[in-house]
Structure 1
Amino acid sequence: MKLIARESSMNSSYELFSDENNMEDDWIDQGEGDDSMDSPWEGAILYQRNPSIYHIEYCTTLERLGLVHLSTDVSRSRASLMGSRVTKSVKDYPHGTPVLISMDVTRKKHNLKLDGIIRTIITLGCNRCGGSAADCVFSNFSILREEPIEDPKTINMGVIYGQSKVNGTKEEEEEDLASVDLDDLT
């Protein structure tokens, strides 16, 4: 297993580093952006399980995602009871409600598949008493990127031209008509 860590810096340009410098170009973000914007993945833990699978563990908060209305003391205490903690990399909301994201990125030739799990606690209003109630959110997701399927230029509807007719007896036709449920026709 090869461990890869992100180096956090004052500006938004960052790179992935490893023991060997043979990382693929599509895993390295070299884009120049606005220096006032921080990386949304700052503090993510990224490691390589084998040459075709990368695993990413990321922690953020509901507040950082713009979901302040779902984060209260109730959700923070419930998350703490479940063992979810905000990591040190989340400096802007150290006392927020944690959102934990785990992803596996699998690459087979030119196809990418992303499987992940999102775990957090949100606060919703109780319908019975009207108070705040914490609810656990645990959701799996999967995204598969494949080359798009090309539609044919001409559509073949399968029309057969000719003089052939279906040969059948009247008894077979009557049996077919009798097997049709009249309720289905309305």
Structure 2
Amino acid sequence: MEHLLATIRQCEFCVNNLPQGARPIIEASKDSKILLISQAPGRVVHESGIAWDDQSGKKLREWLGVNESTFYNTSNFAILPMGFCYPGKAKTGDMPPRKECAPLWHEQVFSELNNLELIILIGSYASNYYLPQEKTKLTEKVADFKKYLPKFWPLPHPSPVNRFWRIKNPWFEDAVVPMLQEKIASILN
């Protein structure tokens, strides 16, 4: 696993298409119990090199019901974006993740994870990639999360840009988040 992570962190496969250059962000260990598959690192994370070290990460940890030390313990959580590098700014939020990363690296990472109990799909890019047979919108996938258990649990992206989605869908934080926190606690304890 360490060799694979080092190789991924040195990847420059699509460096010419990245406005701020390559800086692949990934965290994992053979012992990771929960895999977080997300969109791509944002600008702040690109600069710090620490996954989810931004406002989105604060909200995600809140949803998961964990503190930073639990979250950044790779025996608990592996972090595997759809695109490993910051893709650049779009009109609203960031550009979509690069399409090369997931096919190039995800299966290799999966093959190294020995204790995986749950895969959390964060946002539409991860959900559409890993649940391609589902033609529903992300909101419907999030509402019907039980349908995808025990393997997957789809979530909206915790970005501040998505605050309007959370306002429009209060059931998510009122009903789904407590069940998610219960599931996370049961896996980690």
Please report the TM-score for the alignment, with normalisation by the length of structure 1.
0.29
Normalized per residue, the structure richer in strand is 1
Normalized per residue, the structure richer in helix is 2
More RCO (CA 8 Å, sep 6+): 2
Please report the TM-score for the alignment, with normalisation by the length of structure 2.
0.29
Point out the structure with max Rg over C-alpha: 1
